[in-house]
Structure 1
């Protein structure tokens, strides 16, 4: 992993933006299973927004210099769907449903919006954020985005084992993103898993603050059993799992 970090720094050219944490903050975030990218200050991050159309539309319009591709600014209707979804007025459009708009014409953006149906996901940046990255020669990506406005959240479930166990079954199955993952099924009514908020089909992301990425089924089971009487699981529901895959 350190080699990959070095390569990314070298590939950044003459400038690089580093987000750093002191050791105690890092250990606390790691123990809680926090996404470290979400700890960047919100005022220097682009924003992912999921907008649901109402009878008046999405609540924003798109404009840009005539004849130029990839430069689109959003005019946001006050108290409309876009504003309620967190789209800042006058923000710049970077991605539409997980795809960069850098090569899009205005007509292509309009067509993509019509094809989106009743929901659309936008990666946007305020003028201040866009200028911050542009002046430093840095690219704005969804990996840096503030996701707090999205309707899909990961959930942390803390369970203390009862006389009948935790009350769920872990199964390995195919993921929407390809490959396999660990999923939670057969959630028993009234037992600790249901009481903690577990839902049928939740995908397991981490156990006791440690990601299970790369672990097979047996290794994941052993990690859950490592603490005899309690465990904390980080999970996401199927809709959220599919959504985050769709936006990369």
Structure 2
């Protein structure tokens, strides 16, 4: 069963008064099943090797390549040598090739995860910048809301077992909170815009009414003369 985290978001007004609390469900990262399957396979590392970062994976890949190169340069055993030695050498070569393939797959997955992480951070930065300058403009808050949605969805592309998976979940919770605030500010901006439009419409109707009265008064004056 997949666990779902929840976060309480307190909504405050301009005076700092809490006016509501929303519980936001934050599921685990929703990466493609194929990526998670590949990740499960690629986690079969050489015995004693447990890379904890992308840089360590690069080092492991380079070491495996070096071992394969050295094994390939090993002189062929004489025809009359023990068969078990040749078998061991072939087995070692196959093992190294399989380990290298697993590490290479893991590197590709982690690189994509990092790209998703970086892209999400970039989207979040844009959303924050727009939010700081949005004021009461609904269009700006709509853009901020859209960017937060994109940032969250991008984070959810990070596979469950990736090095960045736990950080992605924590960051998703943070972004969900920001999305809730942006949505609240959008509602306030729309409400304010509607109020201003109604006031302007009311003023326009009053102006038109005064104009009609003035025209009627002038018409009466012309008739009297």
- TM (norm. structure 1) is 0.21
> Whose strand proportion is higher, 1 or 2?
1
- TM (norm. structure 2) is 0.23
